[in-house]
Chain A
Amino acid sequence: MSMVSTNETISRQHGRSATPAVLVLFAVLVCLILVSITIGRYDLDVLKVIRILADNLIPASNADWTVLEEQVVELVRLPRILAAVLVGAGLAASGAALQGLFRNPLVDPNIIGVTSGAGFGGTLAILSGVFGYGLLAIAFLFGLASVMIVKVLASSRGRTSVLALVLAGVIISAFFGSAISIVKLLADPHQKLPAITYWLMGSLASTNYEDLLLMAVVMVPALAVIYLMRFQINIISLGEEKARALGSPVATVQWAVLGATAVISAGVVACCGIIGWVGLVIPHVARAISGPDHGRLLPVSILLGAIYMLLVDNIARTVTTAEIPVGIITSLIGVPVFAVLLRRMQSRGGWKSD
């Protein structure tokens, strides 16, 4: 009797890959995208936005909108909103994957130094007048380099110490922080310095379809790689030695996830500058909804990250007349959340240093 019922629960769990939570979050995201398009100085209503967008698929016979309205929707607001969705999804997924990989809920691309490495690469590119795919490539190279240095510093005899990982992240961030300052010092104070400074604050303003394509080309495959390895990430979250004993290809998964994280960070940096803390905050909320299994955690994180980023960007572009760089808002939210999580972890016995 008990065997039968357990069999049923197991198969029920088996079929739960597309949880209702994912559907609900997806619906929320779609609604939020539509509402976000209406927000701004030029007033639009949701129904008109839907008609303008639907026109691209099924051309409407009686267009009741002006050319200006169509341009506002399709050329000004939509690319920026889709960029926010992609940035949020990418950062949240890489945060969730890194937390699993290092079995610690307090790591994200920021903490392990990828963001600052990619940020330095981007700064260097702007100084040398390189943009677009060139900037992306340089940001990726430095992001990957910082990931490799951090991993090598934190690993010995096939195990990665989380404490060493975080400290190595501090070192790398400090190093690239100074390197960025040097680049700023060398930059032309009238032209490039303001560009670099504003870009480093992280902003989605002035995102066009070219930027969006650039980001999507690299970030979507990276997200796919992370999602495909969801079961192996589960196993590694037990600990490297245990995963190895179970026959998991630990090194391959680690490097693939770290590489994908570097790609995602570089994509974000190339289009929007430095946007931190999203990868730390979102997976926590997601884990409360989906549980720790990455097969469910990753989709929920991706959707929540997109929703969060879109909300934050809406705040960034509407609260004051001058835009607030979105990176500032994510930090202002992320840092206190980090502090609370750290406090809660300490009261549960602190984090394990290995």
Chain B
Amino acid sequence: MIEVRDLLVERGGRPILEGYDLAIANGSVVAILGANGIGKTSLINTIAGLLKPSRGEVHCRARIGYVPQLFDVAFDYSVTDIVLMGRARQVGLFGTPQRRDYDAVHSQLSTLGINHLAERSFNALSGGQRQLVIIAQALVSECQVLILDEPCSALDYHNQAVVISVLDRLSREHGMTVLFTTHSPQHALEIASDVLLMYDSNAFDFGPTARTLSEENLARLYGVEVRKAVFDDDKSFTYAPVFRSR
């Protein structure tokens, strides 16, 4: 269980997040949506303990694995090198990776189905492959909570599908609590048990996806008309923006 109480996060004296109270149950998948610059990354950084709030507190007993936005590395590390770095806590200040650390790397690469990339150069991989590798890096830390910053934002449809299904599987099969930020309501509809809609520094909605995600709320979120679009099979739907460019 992650509990956020009366959070105040400021940057340059200006509040970004004010009065956030959240209780996130174990095993839930939370999609966090909001306009650019609204403070999504600040919120997940605060929950992950990377940003100190000015007031309020975050309670989380479980170990958190944090997956930053897709990045390049300065040196030509292999995938194994990169994933191994997720063992920072286990290896310690003066240690070096041991057999069990390599085993953890191997088992997470298998879980994500990217064993064959182990010896490849990280920088030479495609965006989707790199995203999976940095998810594996967070997972080898033996975390119970996975927090991801826009895991799909730089990916094409196929890779979005791969990442979304990996997150779904981690939650269903491994009981992982997953928090991720996204700009696509469709991602939330696909896998999220709950959504957090961040309207403003002090206004948000947090609740079960089916109840919280609606045309009105999304329109309020982005300041654009959003319509519900039902697929031909009549069983599922999505939300899509209506751009008035003409």
Q: Which residues of A contact B (CB under 8 A)?
A: 2-3, 6-7, 9-11, 13-14, 17, 100, 103-105, 228-232, 234-235, 237-239, 241-249, 252-253, 287, 291-293, 295, 352
* B73 touches which of A3, A228, A237, A247 (Cβ 8 Å): A237
Query: For B94, what are the chain A residues with a Cβ–Cβ distance below 8 Å?
Result: 228-229
Say yes or no: A2 contacts B75, CB within 8 Å. no
Can you list 25 residue pairs at the A/B interface with Cβ under 8 Å?
A2-B116, A6-B109, A6-B116, A9-B119, A10-B102, A10-B106, A11-B99, A11-B102, A13-B102, A13-B119, A14-B99, A14-B102, A17-B96, A105-B75, A230-B96, A231-B91, A231-B97, A238-B73, A243-B85, A244-B50, A246-B138, A247-B141, A291-B78, A292-B75, A293-B81
Of residues A7, A14, A17, A287, which shows the largest number of chain B Cβ atoms within 10 Å of its Cβ?
A14
Say yes or no: B115 contacts A245, CB within 8 Å. no
Query: For B76, what are the chain A residues with a Cβ–Cβ distance below 8 Å?
Result: 291-292
Say yes or no: B85 contacts A234, CB within 8 Å. yes
Give A249 to B88 CA distance when docked, in angstroms. Answer: 9
Cβ of B242 under 8 Å from chain A: no
Of residues B85, B91, B118, which shows the largest number of chain A Cβ atoms within 10 Å of its Cβ?
B85
Say yes or no: A2 contacts B115, CB within 8 Å. yes
Query: For A11, what are the chain B residues with a Cβ–Cβ distance below 8 Å?
Result: 99, 102
Say yes or no: A103 contacts B116, CB within 8 Å. no
Say yes or no: A243 contacts B102, CB within 8 Å. no
Query: For A291, what are the chain B residues with a Cβ–Cβ distance below 8 Å?
Result: 76, 78
Given A103-B75, A245-B68, A246-B88 in contact, is the A6-B96 Cβ separation under 8 Å? no
Cβ of B48 under 8 Å from chain A: yes
Closest to B73 in A: A238
Say yes or no: A245 contacts B50, CB within 8 Å. yes
Of residues A2, A104, A242, A244, which shows the largest number of chain B Cβ atoms within 10 Å of its Cβ?
A242
* B86 touches which of A6, A17, A100, A246 (Cβ 8 Å): A246
Query: For A100, what are the chain B residues with a Cβ–Cβ distance below 8 Å?
Result: 75
Query: For B97, what are the chain A residues with a Cβ–Cβ distance below 8 Å?
Result: 14, 231
Query: For A238, what are the chain B residues with a Cβ–Cβ distance below 8 Å?
Result: 71, 73, 82, 85
Say yes or no: A245 contacts B118, CB within 8 Å. no
Smallest CB separation, B112 vs chain A (Å):
13
Given A246-B141, A287-B75 in contact, is the A253-B85 Cβ separation under 8 Å? no
Query: For B66, what are the chain A residues with a Cβ–Cβ distance below 8 Å?
Result: 245-246
Q: Secondary structure of the A side of the interface?
A: helix
Given A10-B102, A245-B66, A245-B68 in contact, is the A234-B89 Cβ separation under 8 Å? no
Give A231 to B91 CA distance when docked, in angstroms. Answer: 8
Given A9-B118, A243-B88, A292-B76 in contact, is the A232-B81 Cβ separation under 8 Å? no
Say yes or no: B118 contacts A232, CB within 8 Å. no
Query: For B118, what are the chain A residues with a Cβ–Cβ distance below 8 Å?
Result: 6, 9-10
Say yes or no: A229 contacts B85, CB within 8 Å. no
* A229 touches which of B75, B77, B93, B141 (Cβ 8 Å): B93
Contact with A along B119-162 (1 / 0, CB 8 A): 10000000000000000011001000000000000000000000
Smallest CB separation, A251 vs chain B (Å):
12
Closest to B140 in A: A246
Give A142 to B105 CA distance when docked, in angstroms. Answer: 43
Give A243 to B115 CA distance when docked, in angstroms. Answer: 24
* A295 touches which of B93, B96, B138 (Cβ 8 Å): B96
Query: For B85, what are the chain A residues with a Cβ–Cβ distance below 8 Å?
Result: 234-235, 238, 243, 246
Query: For B88, what are the chain A residues with a Cβ–Cβ distance below 8 Å?
Result: 232, 235, 243, 246-248
Say yes or no: A7 contacts B106, CB within 8 Å. yes
Say yes or no: B74 contacts A237, CB within 8 Å. yes
Contact with A along B48-89 (1 / 0, CB 8 A): 101000000000000000101001011111101110011011
Query: For A104, what are the chain B residues with a Cβ–Cβ distance below 8 Å?
Result: 74
Closest to B147 in A: A245
Smallest CB separation, B87 vs chain A (Å):
9
Cβ of B110 under 8 Å from chain A: yes
Query: For B96, what are the chain A residues with a Cβ–Cβ distance below 8 Å?
Result: 17, 230-231, 295
Say yes or no: A249 contacts B93, CB within 8 Å. yes
Give A247 to B93 CA distance when docked, in angstroms. Answer: 11
Give A340 to B115 CA distance when docked, in angstroms. Answer: 38
